[in-house]
Chains A and B, each alone.
Chain A
């Protein structure tokens, strides 16, 4: 069974269907693709009680609007694009009830690059090579979304379930002022000149406009290799690998990148920083810190404990009241740990205490 859930009512800047990624086809040259900010993406699926491999909508830059075609729940995570339901601000990082005819609007991104909309049971679309992820260049699998496209799911929420709302105890912080990204040493790190290593450790860098889901140029003082060469025998690379072509500008590979590369692999963003870069916009500045593989794993595990262990709580204790104003029925539901969540006629009212 397939249920139509959302219809795109404007032309998004760049929105695609993404899941965890496409693995196992690297030997045929197939890139991994998948969601860029895996923390936000996974938290979306977690809040929806979905499987980790279910697909969501990845919205870059924002300015995307939808019409709801069925009563169900969705969840918006990632960058804050000032989401609104029928003109009213709605909360992110929690499940939200939507009803047929509702209008969802996302404005421009405030504190990151990507938002995710998760739906119950994930988005229903044919798997290509075992994944629903979209490759942005090769048009392999998934879908680049256009105005008029309809998003379907294999399930909708039953009326009873709409009373339960899932929340997070810990929400990722998108508002750090000083961005510090962690890197591990790449296989060709030792070819860097002393001067270049000092530049990496001390300087500020900037994400350039030359950026896509396959990779991004990093702007900063140019680096050099001791032997002057930048070519290697083409070998394995991964998302997060920083290559140094002969022009001396670092180039970071992102989620849609190839898995074989021929330029010196000087550094590699650790997995946690890779997910963080996915939320950086062209022009954003950051510093680099070189860490060991062990430290990278430690960071990843700590992050996993914070966001993916006992982070979701479900609210079922709902105080429901019906008021009559000038003969019109108004349904008010109040719930949440501090009664901070108020729904008027089943639409969430955004109040920040």
Chain B
């Protein structure tokens, strides 16, 4: 195995960012996990649990992580950001070395993760789950500066609070404009949950306000269920303008809060621009996405098609038919940990298991809907949706069903985040 170099060991020992440092021992395998979200944290904790004799380092770019799931409840002013923000103390206590630092590059040839500060961490295998980056530049006029005026709030944190406060300060009868990208992007139903929960808030504090969704596609996840709920809960408040009717967003202007689409100009009092996305920069810089925007992997083992020894999962990767969701990423992280543990021990990984995903969406705090998927690796090595399984919540269900699903959503969130961060 490749142990850490003397320079790395010294750098790690001297790093204030290191939360816990079990000594890296000669002769033990070292797996470095990049990304402290759902995928990376699940991978690191699962691997340490099933292979305690493996040294596991989790590289996180900040000492706190705010989840995108449930961040729309923050926008709705139902919960504070602190409710969806977690630290890594429990991860460290579980025996994982948590390293706070920005991963600049994964060098598969040299088997090192290069940090922005120049330090390097050697690995036998790496698991990379760095999430997405917003593709500033995809929409003319939308850059990091414009995002201060027209927040994306598609990475939870300060952007979420910024948009929450803008919604609260919107003039009576004002317009909330949301620009939504074409697929693929993080959390397919997320924009429509956001429109719902913003409507929930506005219906109380600003009941004559309007919400306009300028969509980069013609149809969306759970569309019938969302529209049924909007008619029921917020009649007349939300207008969805599909791609065929707007012709696509051409540019935005932060000074005038305008979204210019091919067929129509939308001016808002609050504008939420959710731009197109790519795999996080560290994955692109490391060549893990080839010439594309997303990382291509072996869908049975998550191993990169371009970088042997490096596994990629979560939102940054194309993981067969699985959507880019926190649920999917956490399942993929745990399954990938089993693959890596098997290979480190010279065993064949399980390849005939079932993987699941559920995306819950809240239309109000007590009105939930879901889409579920079941995935298996087929004979060609593709992780495909199992036919005749999965699917959406029923249409025209009574309040009890919707309330129960809202309860399941909360239960899912708390159970998963307790396991990852608690």
Chain A complexes with chain B: no
Interface, chain A (partner B; CB < 8 A)? none
